[in-house]
Structure 1
Amino acid sequence: MLFPTHLLVAALLGRVSRLSPLWLVVGTAVPDVVDKPLGAVGVTALYHSIGHSALLVVVALPLALSGRIGLSVAAGWALHLLLDTVHVVLNGRPGDAVFLFWPVVTPTDPLALPPGSFFVYYLWSPSFFLEVALWLTAVGLLARHVTGGEYASSRDRVD
Structure 2
Amino acid sequence: MIFFGHLGLTTEAIKAYEVILHKDNKLGDKEVFVDYRYVLIGSILPDIIDKPIGAGVFRSVFHNSRIFGHTLMFSLVLILIGIYMKNRNGKNNILFLGIASSIHLVLDSMWLYPNTLFWPYLGWKFPARPEGNWVNSDIVRLITDPTYYLPELIGFAIIAYFFIRLFRKKEIKCFLNKGKL
Q: Are the counterparts in 2 of residues 13 and 21 from structure 1 also a CA contact under 8 Å?
A: no
Higher relative contact order, chain-length normalized (CA < 8 Å, sep 6+) = 2
Given that 1:96 and 1:107 are in contact with CA atoms closer than 8 Å, whether structure 2 keeps it comes out as no
User: Is the CA contact 1:25–1:76 (under 8 Å) kept in the aligned structure 2?
Assistant: yes
Residue 31, structure 1, aligned to residue 46, structure 2: yes
CA contact (8 A) 2:9 2:154 kept: no
Partner of 1:72: 96
Cα deviation digits, residues 23-63 of structure 1 (max 9, x gap): 11122222111100112222422111111011235512322
Match of 2:69 in 1: 51
Counterpart residue number, 2:148: 127
Unpaired segments of 5 or more residues in structure 2?
19-31, 87-91, 170-181
8 Å contact kept, 1:3–1:32: no
Equivalent residue number for residue 10 of structure 1: 10
User: Residue 6 and residue 111 in structure 1: after superposition, are their counterparts in 2 closer, same or farther (change >3 A)?
Assistant: farther
Verify: 1:101 aligned to 2:118, yes or no. yes
The answer (yes or no) to whether the contact 2:5–2:154 under 8 Å persists in 1 is: no
TM-score (norm 2): 0.60
TM-fit CA distance, 1:4:
3.3
Two-structure CA RMSD over aligned residues (Å): 3.3
Structure 2: distance between partners of 1:143 and 1:58: 34
Q: How many residue pairs end up in the alignment? A: 141
- Percent sequence identity over matched residues? 20
Deviations along 1:54-102, one digit per CA (max 9) or x if unpaired, are: 12355123223022112111111111111111xx7xxxxx744653123
Aligned counterparts of 1:45 and 1:118: Cα–Cα separation in 2:
16
Does the 8 Å contact 1:3/1:29 carry over to 2? yes
TM-score, structure 1 normalization: 0.67
Contact 2:63 2:129 in 1 (8 A): no
Gaps of 5+ in 1: 89-93, 149-159
CA distance in 2, matches of 1:22, 1:131: 19
2:105 to 75, 81, 85: 81
